[in-house]
Amino acid sequence: MSSRKTKSNAHAECLSQVQRILRERFCHHSPHSNLFGVQVQYKHLIELLKRTAIYGESNSVLIVGPRGSGKTTLLNHALKELMEIEVSENVIQVHLNGLLQTNEKIALKEITRQLNLDNVVEDKVFGSFAENLSFLLEALQKGDRTSSCPVIFILDEFDIFAHQKNQTLLYNLFDISQSAQTPVAVIGLTCRLDILELLEKRVKSRFSHRQIHLMNSFDFPQYLKIFKEQLSLPAEF
């Protein structure tokens, strides 16, 4: 009986490990997951990020593609590579989501919290919309491109930010990215192909008009290869 229990426990443990590996892979929690068919887009994105992090160039770009096309995975891979080079301590990331930061005031408070500015006490942000905006602008415009820490703004569900009143947040972020002060990269992720039509004229004029499109066009043999790689366990398993 003890032998059967041992085998049963071993099988259960093995099955649990298989489930964990596949869950991490399919939920994009694994840092070792592969990119399929987006090598050109990846090269474009990582070069843009390096120009901001290493050379102090401000940039803005939109990653456009249908849901499930790999926008977030592409960005996470690029950020991971960027952090592995000798700039990790000097680069600040600010993550925003249009579903969570539903208006400019909430978004600005979240930015000031993530940047650890002066009006933040124990994760609580104080001040009005105008005060938070002035804090943000003052903090990002201190110093010059050689002495300031590069800041990467990631705006998930970018089209929701475009629907906000007066697009104040987008205007100020794009305006900062065009200034000669601290290096800033603004990266928007959206599934709206007509995203530029949603931008106000003053916002559009400050956007770089760089777009990275993820449109999967795999044939059936490529799909088979991808599924086989995704479902195969590591060689050391």
pLDDT tens, position by position, 60-91: 999 999 988 889 889 988 998 888 875 656 78
- Tell me the pairing of strands 124-125 and 120-121: antiparallel
Within-domain flag for 221:
yes
* pLDDT score for 65: 92
Residues 4 and 110 in one domain: no
Within-domain flag for 113:
yes
- Neighbouring C-beta atoms of residue 218, cutoff 10 Å: 12
78 Cβ contact list (under 8 Å, min separation 6): 42, 45, 46, 49
Distance set, CA 15 to CA 9, 28, 31, 230 (Å): 10, 20, 21, 17
* Distance between CA atoms of residues 233 and 187, nearest Å: 33
pTM of structure? 0.77
Within-domain flag for 164:
yes
Is 32 a residue whose pLDDT tops 60? no
Q: What is the mean pLDDT of residues 24-43?
A: 73
Residues 104 and 45 in one domain: yes
Residues 6 and 100 in one domain: no
Beta bridge partners of 59: 185
Distance set, CA 92 to CA 70, 181, 182 (Å): 23, 15, 12
Residues 76 and 192 in one domain: yes
Q: Above pLDDT 70, what percent of the chain?
A: 79
Is 147 a residue whose pLDDT tops 60? no
Within-domain flag for 70:
yes
* pLDDT score for 88: 55
**CATH code where residue 58 lies:** 3.40.50.300
Q: Using 50, 70 and 90 to split pLDDT, how confident is the model at 6?
A: confident
Residues 83 and 151 in one domain: yes
Within-domain flag for 120:
yes
Q: Which of 129-143, 158-172, 186-200 has the highest mean pLDDT?
A: 186-200
Question: For the chain, what's the residue count?
Answer: 237
Q: Closest Cα to residue 83, out of 91, 75, 95?
A: 91
Residues 165 and 122 in one domain: yes
* Distance between CA atoms of residues 117 and 140, nearest Å: 10
Q: Which of 1-5, 114-118, 121-125 has the highest mean pLDDT?
A: 114-118
Residues 103 and 178 in one domain: yes
Residues 69 and 26 in one domain: no
Is 117 a residue whose pLDDT tops 60? yes
Within-domain flag for 105:
yes
Q: Give the pair of three-digit tokens for residue 87.
A: 């700039």
Residues 178 and 211 in one domain: yes
CB 45 within 8 A of CB 172: no
Residue 2 phi/psi, 5-degree rounding, is -65, -35
Residues 74 and 182 in one domain: yes
Residues 44 and 26 in one domain: no
CB 73 within 8 A of CB 33: yes
- Tell me the pairing of strands 59-64 and 211-213: parallel
Q: Which segments within 78-193 are labelled E, that is strand?
A: 92-97, 120-121, 124-125, 151-156, 184-190
Within-domain flag for 63:
yes
* pLDDT score for 131: 66
Q: Using 50, 70 and 90 to split pLDDT, how confident is the model at 161?
A: very high
Within-domain flag for 236:
no
Residues 132 and 147 in one domain: yes
Is 163 a residue whose pLDDT tops 80? yes
Q: Based on the structure, what is the number of domains in the chain?
A: 2
Q: Closest Cα to residue 93, out of 142, 49, 36, 44?
A: 49
* Distance between CA atoms of residues 109 and 132, nearest Å: 7
Domain of 7, in residue numbers: 1-30
